[in-house]
Amino acid sequence: MEFYFFEISLAIVAVIVTWMGCKAIKGIWTQVKRRISYMVGKSQDNQGVVNLNASESLASSSEPCHWKYDVFLSFRGPDTRKGITFDIYDRLNTRGIKTFMDDRDLEVGDAISPTLIAAIKESRFAIVVLSQNYASSTWCLEELREICLSMEDNRILPLFYHVDPTDVRYQKKGSFKEAFSKHVKSGRYTSEKVKEWRAALYKVANISGWSTTDHKTERGLVEAIVDLLSSKVVPDAIESTGDFQAFEATRQAMNEVMKALIDDKVTCVGVHGMGGVGKTTMVKHVAAQTCKNGSFNHWIMATISQNNDLIKIQDTLAELLGFTLQEKTEDGRATRLHKEILRREKLLIIMDDVWARTDLSRIGIPSYKELQKCKSKVLLTTRRLNVCHAMKCQEKISLNILSEEDSLTLFLRNARIMSFESPTFEKVVKRVAAECKGLPIALIAVARALGDKDPVEWEKAAQRLEKSQSANPDHEEDAFECIKLSYDYLKDEEYKSFFLLCSLFPEDDVINIEDLFRYAIGIGLFRDAETINEARGTAYTVVEHLKDSSLLLESDYVTRVRMHDVVRDTALNIAKSEGGHRFLVKAGCGLDDWPPISRLDEGCTAISLMSNRMRKLPPQLVCPKLQILLLNQNYGLDEIPETFFQTLNELRVLDLSRTGISYLPQSFGLLTNLRALYLFDCEKLRDISVVGKIMTLEVLSVKGANFMELSRDIGNLTNLRVLDFTNGWIFEIPSKLLSKLHSLEELYLRYRFGADFDEGY
């Protein structure tokens, strides 16, 4: 009789398919499957598994016409909510894939809510995060049972998170066995209910999914999940690109920009707004969308910044256009770039972070009239509205700060807060978010700093921000305070010192992590590491933490990072105000002469004058506490006065790379605390024998050096740990020299000629 009922039910469904809407079909089919599940459970009491899929092919026709959610996440909260599940949720939503993630942990005896059942039914896919304690939660088991009743196999995507699929499938050992033993012994659940749970686990364990054993890192696993879902779900194009999320203020400005860019009468569009509000991110997104919809064929982007480095800007644009500028003069480079741009049609040229009126013709960008003929346009971003006027932008669009509601949404997302522990905690979180004044960069930095802290720390942060910003009308200054808070919450002093080192590089520079690491070694960071390579690993860990804290940004290369200009300004303010870190930074500012050193500056611990045009140094530098001196990339600097280093006994890091110096003064021997010395690409330097007097030296880089013979005095450097002669032309290395370097861990030697190595070295 029971099996006769199955046949009639299936026949009824088959008839109804031909004329009823898809939601109705889905509802009827769900009821049929529930009935099948129940009947099979009663008729096969002796079996451990219940079949929940009598007819998958029929169910496939029951997909709704419109899904409310793209993905439903099933997981056990205490196991993965603040870990991989949130990462998946965050990344999917960032990609524009609507994902449902319940924010409650139900207690024993709580029933699965109608809202949750509805969310399952209205989701196109379900990701089931099967963690060690998943089966210990009867709520998770009920949720999974509902998923199996409502969805076909190809819509259920299991993630075996540090569990063996066999243990999930049979529940005969490990945590899954223990969980079911407890459920049975408790006496709260009928044998029929337990069989349904077992059947659901059996089903999901037989579906192909992901496993932690198949991926080296959790980040790689999340990427694989997001990539697969991205290929199955096409999000709304306006919602996201990469990590971009369009809130109301952003969306409004973005729509205005896109409208202006498709206006044939408009050739230059200016976007203005305060630092950290998200201008750069927004225009990148707009550019991608306009190329996607055919308004433009290609887009290129260069950062102008306060430095206005013409050569760097030209090289960036040329590289993005697929060629290299070989011309040596400024006019020659501009002429070539001008021609290449006019050869293209429908090209969008983005000039990012413009601080003052900029003569685009000096760069090589054609006039607006010339661009109009080839349907190309200029889009610029600036903090100042008057720059838009000076650059003769036909459309001037403001990007405003986020609304209170959107600010809280962005804040909670980055703090990974899915629910509030109490009304009191909710109030303090909202207070902290409000103090970020709607600036995305501040909201993200503070949220990530406080995300895992207890309510007491949240209260302290709220009080501190309220106190520091109570009389402050400038929202950009508010951003400084918020980023300073994020800095203060870094794990330890080494993390802080490493972060501040990044501010020594020019604004908008791409920072090589290896250079950063060697500077860090020079000032004594990562001393707990037993080897240089172990210390390097620690440095990369710190970089990842700083990126996760929103204090550093990704670059196009995994070995490099960038620093947002607002974050860099904050770092410099911190370095100026803290006793242990007094920095004087004039990097990439176009200096022709040595800047005046005030009495206050004499107490500096770091001076960075890299990437300027200086030709001379003062007779003597009086900075007795100086530990870092960066003079690299001053190509015209060809001489170091003999008395220059006489008072720099605390100096630990010295970078003279890419200068024109031809010899090192004998006063080098006075640098008795120097640990890191950089002389790479000093093409005129022929003799470094004086370096042999610096017994404390641990890192010596003379990449690109040209030596007939490597000085025997280098053998005195018994503390040397890194010796880098990459791309150097060394015709002879004295016998036994390298064997004297007892502490040497890393030797980089390429393009050597006639070098005599010790046997077995």
Look at residue 57 in the predicted model and tell me its pLDDT.
31
Look at residue 75 in the predicted model and tell me its pLDDT.
93
- Separation between Cα atoms, residue 342 and residue 362, nearest integer Å: 15
Q: What percent of the chain has pLDDT over 90?
A: 38
Burial of 443 (0-12, 13-18, 19+ CB in 10 A): buried
pLDDT at residue 58 tops 80: no
Q: Which residue has the higher pLDDT, 746 or 61?
A: 746
Look at residue 669 in the predicted model and tell me its pLDDT.
85
Q: Which residue has the higher pLDDT, 1 or 714?
A: 714
What is the DSSP code (8-state) at residue 123? E
Q: Are strands 156-160 and 268-272 parallel, antiparallel or unpaired?
A: unpaired
Cβ atoms of 485 and 570 within 8 Å: the answer is no
Q: Integer distance in angstroms from the first to the last C-alpha of the chain? A: 86
Sign of CA dihedral 643, 646, 648, 650: positive
- Separation between Cα atoms, residue 378 and residue 300, nearest integer Å: 10
Contacts of 300 (CB under 8 A, 6+ apart): 317, 320, 321, 347, 348, 349, 350
Of 334, 368, 330, 336, which Cα lies nearest the Cα of 349? 368
pLDDT in tens, 545-557: 888 777 888 887 7
Lowest mean pLDDT among 34-43, 136-145, 244-253: 34-43
pLDDT band at 698 (very low <50, low <70, confident <90, very high): very high
Of 752, 712, 692, 710, which Cα lies nearest the Cα of 728? 752
pLDDT at residue 252 tops 90: no
Length of the chain equals: 761
Task: Return the SS3 of 161.
Answer: coil
pLDDT at residue 50 tops 50: no
Q: Model's pTM, two decimal places?
A: 0.58
Q: Which residue has the higher pLDDT, 271 or 481?
A: 271
- Please name the residue that has the structure tokens 């064997």: 739
Ranked by mean pLDDT, the top range of 470-484, 623-637, 704-718, 726-740 is: 623-637
pLDDT in tens, 139-191: 899 999 999 999 988 899 999 999 999 999 999 989 999 999 999 999 899 99
Mean pLDDT across 587-611: 84
Cβ atoms of 506 and 610 within 8 Å: the answer is yes
Contacts of 197 (CB under 8 A, 6+ apart): 135, 138, 141, 142, 144, 145, 180, 183
Cβ atoms of 569 and 480 within 8 Å: the answer is yes
pLDDT at residue 3 tops 70: no
pLDDT at residue 243 tops 80: no
pLDDT band at 277 (very low <50, low <70, confident <90, very high): confident
- Position 204: which residue type? V
Mean pLDDT across 429-453: 85
- Separation between Cα atoms, residue 51 and residue 202, nearest integer Å: 9
Of 536, 531, 545, 495, which Cα lies nearest the Cα of 514? 536
Q: Residue 269: in which H helix or E strand, if any? A: strand 268-272
* Average pLDDT of the chain to the nearest whole number: 81
- Separation between Cα atoms, residue 704 and residue 724, nearest integer Å: 9
Cβ atoms of 638 and 660 within 8 Å: the answer is yes
- Separation between Cα atoms, residue 714 and residue 737, nearest integer Å: 8
- DSSP E strand boundaries for 131-264: 156-160, 210-211
Q: Give phi and psi for 432, each to the nearest 5.
A: -65, -45
pLDDT band at 96 (very low <50, low <70, confident <90, very high): low
- DSSP E strand boundaries for 506-616: 511-512, 553-554, 560-562, 583-585, 606-608
Give how far Cα 713 sits from Cα of 161, 522, 554, 696, 702, Å. 57, 21, 41, 14, 15
